[in-house]
Amino acid sequence: MSKFFRFSMIAALICVAFACKDDEEKPTPLVKAYVEVAAADATQLLPGDAGTKTFTVESNRELEVSSDVAWCTVSVSGKTVTLTYQENSYVQGTKPAKRVGTVTVKAKAVNADDNVVDAKANVNVDQALFGLPEAKLLDVVFNATGATDISPLANKILNVKPFNKDFASTWSSYQEWCSVQEYPDYRQNPTYGRYTAFFHGGQDENAADHVLALAGDNTKRGRMGSCCLRVDYADYSKAPANFSYQSTDVLPLNELGKGIYNEQGYSMECLFRPAPWENRRYVFSSTQTSGNGFEVDNNAGGLAFSFYVETCLKNQADGSGIKEPSAANADVSVKYQLSAEELAATDRFYHFVGTWTAGTNAKMRLYLNGKAVRGATADGPGDWEHTNAGTGEIVETTVQANHVMRRGTPGAENGDALAQYYAIGGNARTGNHPELNKGWQPIDRYAGQEGMDWAERLFIGEIVLCRIYDKPLEATDVQFLYDYERPE
């Protein structure tokens, strides 16, 4: 072998060796770091007492966490973040208030070349006041993408379905847009420091009105549609096939329904801002010949607030009752008409609480902005009205003994078994369930409207919160809640 050949071989091996060394020393390029928090976890709502709460984070790095408030410390294990918070006690002489802070979750750099400056997420921590009445049955909060129930029951919140296109031939006013799914808009409200839901009314307009409605004319919005949320209080999974409101089958109550129909009574709370419209609209309601709910009415050029409870008469032997003794059900309501001075204060939010005290002499009360505006010792502006008696001055409606809250028992004279849900932004109406399809017959009692899965009398405006309590709240509780929610 020649010297030249040996030299060439050695040189080639040296080059290969150095090339391999260069390959070994070149670091693997780092994937860009990220930290993501789900929209539902971007604000952590904490109770007023001391405790802990966890949420998970998506990231491709190890994490580090920090808190900007002393009352809430934070730690992390893997992708799970744990909040440890102290009790938020009320200080006498101050406005009852929640407290807020920010937790920051950051990605840890792998090495000096790992740029993780933008790989972080801020999570709001929002703690209620200790001692505030707890909405144990339903506590709806909104986020960037929808609504969540933070009560102990954690009820599922669903979107109401639009008109069933398969039944279009049965409704002479059907238009293509009636089958389009609509949703509320969720936006951050700086006044209340939280997300709120904007509802824009129904879909069943005629062609000319539909164009005007899309252009922003609320008076042309229809009264039925799918821009509405629902929370079931019956167990729809137990409904047999081909079930209809006329069926003799009974839908059992779920935990929410059982909680409402208890021996004490219950309370409903809603904070909302109505937009101008004509005719009455429901805000938070299930009164399809059953249940209870809130309504606002602008039909007479004013603005009236009503709390409805629909009862079932047991047809007492003495014939006493709010309606004729043969009636299967009866509306019981209290109504408050705003005074001219109050009506002049436009574009405002209203805090609305209705209470029902169960028992032999059941009672209902209505509170607006923390006050029972007309009562035995306090005479506020406007007029109370009992819709059945028409006295115009009743603050507490006393129901005769043996009148009970109707439990949604199906039957042609007792109401719509398929409307046993609370509508947020409207009123419950017969229809197929958004998650279940067992071949039910959504037959409405109005001829020619078969197949309407919609809710009815849809609300136009903004809703901040909806809650249901498992007891009738006292006046001091209602005032406390109003002061707590009222902005500074």
Q: In this model, does residue 326 exceed pLDDT 90?
A: no
Q: What are phi and psi of 268, to 5 degrees?
A: -120, 140
For residue 337, give Cα distances in angstroms to 31, 374, 393, 462: 63, 11, 11, 20
Question: How many residues appear in the chain?
Answer: 488
pLDDT higher than threshold 80 for residue 64: yes
Helix (H) or strand (E) segment spanning residue 107: strand 99-107
Task: Give CA–CA dist 467/139, Å, rounded.
Answer: 4
Can you point out the beta strands (E) in 350-430? Answer: 350-357, 363-368, 384-385, 404-405, 421-424
Most confident of the ranges 27-41, 53-67, 335-349, 350-364: 53-67
Q: Let me know the angle formed at the C-alpha of 445 by 441 and 451, rounded to the nearest 5 degrees.
A: 40
Structure tokens at 317: 């032997």
Q: Which fold has domain 138-485?
A: Jelly Rolls (2.60.120)
pLDDT tens track for 417-428: 677 889 999 988
- What pLDDT does 34 receive? 93
pTM: 0.77
> At residue 379, does pLDDT exceed 70?
no
The Cα-based distances of 488 to 89, 190, 350 in angstroms read 19, 12, 15
288 or 448, higher pLDDT: 288
Q: Please classify residue 223 by burial: count the beta carbons closer than 10 Å to its beta carbon, then call 0-12 exposed, 13-18 middle and 19+ buried.
A: buried
What phi and psi values does residue 430 have, to the nearest 5 degrees? -55, 140
Radius of gyration of the chain (CA): 29
| % of residues, the chain, pLDDT over 90 | 34
The stretch 468-475 carries a mean pLDDT of 93
The number of angstroms, rounded, from the C-alpha of 196 to the middle of its chain's C-alpha atoms is 9
Q: What is the dihedral of CA 218, 223, 228, 230, to 10 degrees?
A: 160
Q: How confident is the model at residue 407 (pLDDT cuts 50, 70, 90)?
A: very low
pLDDT of residue 423: 93
Residues contacting 137, CB < 8 A, separation 6+: 151, 153, 256, 259, 260, 266, 468, 469, 470
Residue 7 pLDDT greater than 60, yes or no: no
Residue 65: its pLDDT value, please?
Answer: 96
Residue with tokens 């847009």: 177
- What does the pLDDT look like over 89-113, one tens digit per residue? 988 778 888 899 999 999 999 998 8
Please, is 4 exposed, middle or buried when counting C-beta atoms within 10 Å of its C-beta (0-12, 13-18, 19+)? Answer: exposed
pLDDT of residue 140: 97
Q: Quick one: CA dihedral 184, 189, 192, 193, positive or negative?
A: positive
- Do the strands 35-36 and 58-59 form a parallel or antiparallel pair, or are they unpaired? antiparallel
Cβ of 261: how many Cβ atoms within 10 Å? 18
- Residue 415's DSSP bridge partners are 411
Which of 17-21, 36-40, 136-140 comes out lowest in average pLDDT? 17-21
The yes-or-no verdict on residue 429 having pLDDT over 70 is: yes
Q: Where are the domains of the chain?
A: 35-127, 138-485
CATH no., domain 35-127: 2.60.40.10
Asked if 80 contacts 36 with a C-beta cutoff of 8 angstroms, the reply is: no
3-state DSSP assignment of residue 270: strand
Per-residue pLDDT, averaged over 366-370, amounts to 86
CA atoms lying within 13 Å on the CB side of residue 253: 14
